[in-house]
């Protein structure tokens, strides 16, 4: 393989901001991947104020044929930083990795091979190991080998952002934006063109509790993604149940913050959209007893973790 003349097959886009503790491990894990074709790593720093840019420069000098750095002078925000990195991609396949996560051996090789072997798939994701302060703590859920738009709408989140690899030819639908958006919109856009494959094997490590997003901050963006899905041939019932699922999630988030007016507003909306759901009906029928519901939710979360 001629690393200067061979065409780039895979682009890995890394976005980062103030992640000096993690970015070295992230980039080293990608630069040391074994892949039988040429690949590039595009790392886009969103005007970090710590030593993240210095580490990126150091590693781009260490791996000049692989790492390309984008060091923004002013903060763009997460969405625009994502778009900036992904628009620079030159490979047939584009992989995304957040700067606080890192790849396990053969991640790129296994995802590349999957897309080559499954030409109808728009993208491929995989399980990840979960790293908490106390150490590795399990892995994300298994999923069907092929995830269609219906499954995506009714069961998300199916996978994490650092596990996705997609066909660059399909990226215009979600990169041609100059507004904030979330990874779920990316998945919806891709699934419109074909199923998303899934590898039921951990190929990366996700650091839990590092990000700053919350379900309440994501509300309008998830609804925008569902709006995008509504433009497809997916049934009205699927859209209705997907919206109800999200309203139920918002109601729980507000309940845990003791924002009871909003809790009741969203549980009412969820019940109206999906009266058949036993879970939604239970919370709706007990909505006048928020303390009881909150205690039950917190007990469930503690048991789950």
Choice among 10-19, 151-160, 192-201, 212-221 with the minimum mean pLDDT: 212-221
In the predicted structure, residue 263 carries a pLDDT above the cut 80: yes
**Within-domain flag for 230:** no
pLDDT at residue 102 tops 90: yes
List phi, psi (to 5°) of 195.
Answer: -65, 155
Mean pLDDT, rounded, of the chain: 91
| Residue 214 clears pLDDT 80, i.e. is over it | no
Q: Provide the residue range defining the domain that includes 187.
A: 8-207
Percent of the chain predicted with pLDDT > 70: 92
Q: Does 285 lie in the same domain as 152?
A: no
Asked if pLDDT for residue 209 goes beyond 80, the answer is no
With cut-offs at 50, 70 and 90, classify the pLDDT of residue 4. low
Mean pLDDT of 41-70: 97
For residue 269, the model assigns a pLDDT of 97
Could you tell me how many residues make up the chain?
305
Give the pLDDT of residue 213: 47
Please state whether the predicted TM-score (pTM) of the whole model is above 0.85: yes
User: Looking at the structure, do residues 164 and 280 belong to the same domain, yes or no?
Assistant: no
Same domain, residue pair 194 and 81: yes
Question: Is residue 141 within 8 Å of residue 105, measured between CB atoms?
Answer: no
Q: Are 20 and 151 in the same domain?
A: yes
Q: Is residue 131 part of a domain?
A: yes
Give how far the C-alpha of residue 175 lies from the chain's centroid of Cα atoms, to the nearest Å. Answer: 15
Q: Identify the residue with better confidence: 177 or 72.
A: 72
Shared-domain flag, residues 109 and 239: no
Q: Is residue 127 domain-shared with residue 14, that is, in the same domain?
A: yes
In this structure, are 194 and 248 located in the same domain? no
Residue 212's pLDDT is: 45
More confident residue, 211 or 51: 51
For residue 146, tell me if it sits in a domain. yes
């Amino acid at each position: 393989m001629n690393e200067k003349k061979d065409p780039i097959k895979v682009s890995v886009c890394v976005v980062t901001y103030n992640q000096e503790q993690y970015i070295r491990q992230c980039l080293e894990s990608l630069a040391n991947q074994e892949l039988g074709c040429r690949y590039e790593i595009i790392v886009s720093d969103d005007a970090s104020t710590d030593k993240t840019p210095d580490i990126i420069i150091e590693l781009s000098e260490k791996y000049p044929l692989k790492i390309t750095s984008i060091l923004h002078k002013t903060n763009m925000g997460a969405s625009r930083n994502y778009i900036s990195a992904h628009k620079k991609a030159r490979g047939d396949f584009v992989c995304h990795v957040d700067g606080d996560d890192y790849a396990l051996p053969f991640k790129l090789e296994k995802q590349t091979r999957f897309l080559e072997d499954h030409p109808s798939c728009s993208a491929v994701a995989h399980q990840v190991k979960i790293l908490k302060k106390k150490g590795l703590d399990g892995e994300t859920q298994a999923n069907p080998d092929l995830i269609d738009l219906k499954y995506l709408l009714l069961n998300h989140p199916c996978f994490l952002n650092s596990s996705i690899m997609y066909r660059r030819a399909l990226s215009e639908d979600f990169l041609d934006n100059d507004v904030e958006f979330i990874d779920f919109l990316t998945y919806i856009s891709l699934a419109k063109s074909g199923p998303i494959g899934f590898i039921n094997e951990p190929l990366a490590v996700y650091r839990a509790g590092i990000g700053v997003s919350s379900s309440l901050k994501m509300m309008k963006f998830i609804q925008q993604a569902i709006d995008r899905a509504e433009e497809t041939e997916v049934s009205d019932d699927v859209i209705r149940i997907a919206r109800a699922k999200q309203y139920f999630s918002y109601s729980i988030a507000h309940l845990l913050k003791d924002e009871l007016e909003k809790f009741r507003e969203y549980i009412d909306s969820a019940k109206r959209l999906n009266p058949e759901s036993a879970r939604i009906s239970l919370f709706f029928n007990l909505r006048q007893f928020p303390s009881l519901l909150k205690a039950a939710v917190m007990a469930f979360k503690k048991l789950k973790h």
